[in-house]
């Protein structure tokens, strides 16, 4: 059912539990409103025929609605809206509150690329690697204008604002590659401000991270030159990250 509706509505694949929940609410809203619209259309057609004007002397009778009809016609749609809110608001709250054990990744938008930085290294441009099945928190900012970090498959979209951090989080359910877009018009190459989310099996991600960091450590070992003051390791790592980012 989920798969059928997803295809019917041309929605991208669902790469997280959050995506499935958002879609479930979307199906519910769209199905109830479609059924409601069809009901209104059928009733209107029936009324056109049943209550058509039969002669020039036909007058419209005065209709006094009963209280029960008023209650039904106001209460029905109101109940639906309240129900949608009752489902959607907890989804919004859960998306706004990253779990405490989430892995942090810094995301920086810049005309016209996405930069990713893992605390302690490494850095990357346009490719965000994350482990499957683990929560990831994104701390998002921009170096110039307003961008918007958008991953359709995760159903997340968050503005990247200069001079301030925004955050969102996700837990990708299985390995795969997903598109990243910029969803805020930011200049000439807005449409090519693309990235890729690579969800790796957790073990592969850990191995990749270890390799990346040992590469940084090797650069660090090679750093001291005879006679030069040995700098604390953290500043070398910082420099490595800066160089990698440029």
The verdict on 193 binding ligand CUA (CB under 6 A) reads yes
Q: Which is nearer to ligand CUA, 161 or 219 (CB)?
A: 161
The verdict on 109 binding ligand CUA (CB under 6 A) reads yes
With b for 16 or more beta-carbon neighbours within 10 A and e for fewer, the 190-223 pattern comes to beebebebbbbeeeebeeebeebeeebeebbeee
> How many residues sit in the footprint of ligand CUA (CB under 6 A)?
9
The verdict on 157 binding ligand CUA (CB under 6 A) reads no
The verdict on 140 binding ligand CUA (CB under 6 A) reads no
Pattern 172-191, binding to ligand CUA, x per CB under 6 A?
Answer: ----------x-xxx---x-
Cα angle value 33/150/166 (rounded, 5°) = 110
Q: How far is the CB of 196 from ligand CUA (least distance, A)?
A: 16
Q: Which is nearer to ligand CUA, 84 or 112 (CB)?
A: 112
CB 170 within 8 A of CB 17: no
DSSP code at position 201: -
Q: Which is nearer to ligand CUA, 20 or 157 (CB)?
A: 157
Q: In this structure, are strands 176-182 and 195-200 parallel, antiparallel, or unpaired?
A: antiparallel
Structural tokens at position 39 = 């009901």
Q: How far is the CB of 140 from ligand CUA (least distance, A)?
A: 12
3-state per-residue secondary structure call for 126-190: CEEEEECCCCEEEEEEECCCCEEEEEHHHCEEEEECECCCEEEEECECCCEEEEEEECCCCCCCH
For 24, other C-beta atoms within 10 Å of its C-beta total 16
Q: In this structure, are strands 127-131 and 195-200 parallel, antiparallel, or unpaired?
A: parallel
Q: Which is nearer to ligand CUA, 151 or 186 (CB)?
A: 186
Cα angle value 189/160/210 (rounded, 5°) = 95
The verdict on 152 binding ligand CUA (CB under 6 A) reads no
Structural tokens at position 52 = 């058509």
Q: How far is the CB of 147 from ligand CUA (least distance, A)?
A: 3
Q: How far is the CB of 193 from ligand CUA (least distance, A)?
A: 4
Q: How far is the CB of 108 from ligand CUA (least distance, A)?
A: 11
Handedness of CA 124, 137, 155, 110 (dihedral sign): negative
Q: How far is the CB of 110 from ligand CUA (least distance, A)?
A: 8
Q: How far is the CB of 209 from ligand CUA (least distance, A)?
A: 27
What does the binding site for ligand CUA look like in residue numbers (CB under 6 A)?
A: 109, 112, 147, 182, 184-186, 190, 193
């Amino acid at each position: 059912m989920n798969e059928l509706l997803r295809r019917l509505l041309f929605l991208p694949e669902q790469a997280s539990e959050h995506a499935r929940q958002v879609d479930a609410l979307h199906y519910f809203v769209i199905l109830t409103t479609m059924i409601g619209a069809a009901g209104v259309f059928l009733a209107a057609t029936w009324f056109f025929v049943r209550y058509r004007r039969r002669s020039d002397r036909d007058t419209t009778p005065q209709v006094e609605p009963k209280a029960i009809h008023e209650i039904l016609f106001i209460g029905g749609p109101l109940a639906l809206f309240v129900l949608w809110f009752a489902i959607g608001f907890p989804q919004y709250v859960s998306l706004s509150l990253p779990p405490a054990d989430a892995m942090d990744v810094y995301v920086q938008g810049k005309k016209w690329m996405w930069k990713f930085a893992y605390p302690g290294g490494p850095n990357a441009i346009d490719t965000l690697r994350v482990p499957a099945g683990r929560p990831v928190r994104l701390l998002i900012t921009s170096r110039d204008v307003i961008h918007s970090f958008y991953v359709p498959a995760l159903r997340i979209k968050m503005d990247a604002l200069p001079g301030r951090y925004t955050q969102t989080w996700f837990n990708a359910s299985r390995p795969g590659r997903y598109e990243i877009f910029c969803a805020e018009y930011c200049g000439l190459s807005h449409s090519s401000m693309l990235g890729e989310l690579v969800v790796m099996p957790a073990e592969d991600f850990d191995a990749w991270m270890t390799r990346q960091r040992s590469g940084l450590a090797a650069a660090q070992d090679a750093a001291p030159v005879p006679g030069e003051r040995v700098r604390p390791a953290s500043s070398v790592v910082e420099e490595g990250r800066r160089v990698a980012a440029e």
